[in-house]
């Protein structure tokens, strides 16, 4: 147990030593983890476009014994700079496709049970709203976001999820 504590402290010290020389917000790419109903790993690339910043996000999500690939186009605005110069508001839209492997499907609050586990393809449309804080001292972004979606699951069920709240943490490079 003491060795684990020593390793933990050594890892924290190593991270602090490495990150002290890094300038976090000079990169236009980030990779991270989204923790919510549709959790997953993501990669994002951004570029300047007039007074806004445009981002393209690709996320590989895991849910219901399945995988979904999501693509979202985001627009970052500095509309929250009156609160903090490092706080950004973003909105966007996109879509997803993937599959579930399940023995039941929920539709309008009802559970529909299948005879056995079944491969169910899904396709859907996504929205995006977020408040992102960019840590200038280290290459780190933290975001509170909501990703509402509607999807078609085969066999023919439509699922609407208006409140997919999540916390995202990403490394900027």
**pLDDT of 24 above 50:** no
**pLDDT of 15 above 90:** no
List the structure tokens of 105: 């499907």
- Return the percentage of the chain with pLDDT > 90, whole number: 54
pLDDT category at 31 given cuts 50, 70, 90 is very high
The domain limits of the chain are 2-172
pTM exceeding 0.95: no
pLDDT tens, residue by residue, 133-142: 999 899 999 9
Q: Which residues contact 135 (CB under 8 A, 6 or more apart)?
A: 24, 86, 141, 142
Which pLDDT does position 107 carry in this prediction? Answer: 67
- Cα separations in angstroms, 122 against 38, 64, 86, 118, 163: 14, 12, 37, 13, 19
**pLDDT of 98 above 90:** yes
pLDDT tens, residue by residue, 99-125: 988 777 766 777 777 778 888 899 999
7's enclosing H/E stretch is helix 2-19
Compute the mean pLDDT over every residue in the chain, rounded to the nearest whole number. Answer: 84
Instruction: Please give the Cα distance from 157 to 86 (Å, whole number).
Output: 42
Q: What are the φ/ψ torsions at residue 147 (nearest 5 degrees)? A: -130, 80
Q: Tell me, which fold does domain 2-172 have in CATH?
A: Porin (2.40.160)
List the structure tokens of 164: 């997919």
């Amino acid at each position: 147990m003491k060795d684990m504590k020593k390793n933990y402290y050594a890892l924290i010290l190593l991270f602090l030593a490495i990150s002290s020389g890094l300038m976090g917000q000079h990169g236009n790419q980030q990779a991270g983890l989204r923790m919510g109903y549709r959790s997953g790993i993501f990669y994002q690339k951004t570029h300047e476009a007039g007074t806004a910043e445009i981002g393209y996000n690709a996320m590989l999500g895991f849910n219901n014994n399945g995988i979904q690939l999501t693509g979202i186009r985001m627009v970052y605005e500095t509309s929250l700079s009156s609160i903090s110069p490092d706080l950004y508001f973003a909105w966007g839209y996109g879509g997803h496709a993937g599959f579930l492997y399940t023995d039941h499907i929920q539709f309008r609050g009802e559970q529909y049970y299948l005879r056995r586990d079944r491969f169910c393809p899904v396709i859907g449309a996504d929205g995006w709203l977020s408040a992102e804080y960019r840590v200038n001292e280290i290459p780190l972004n933290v975001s509170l976001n909501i990703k509402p979606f509607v999807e078609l699951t085969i066999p023919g069920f439509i699922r609407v999820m208006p409140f997919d709240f999540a916390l995202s943490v990403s490394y900027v490079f």
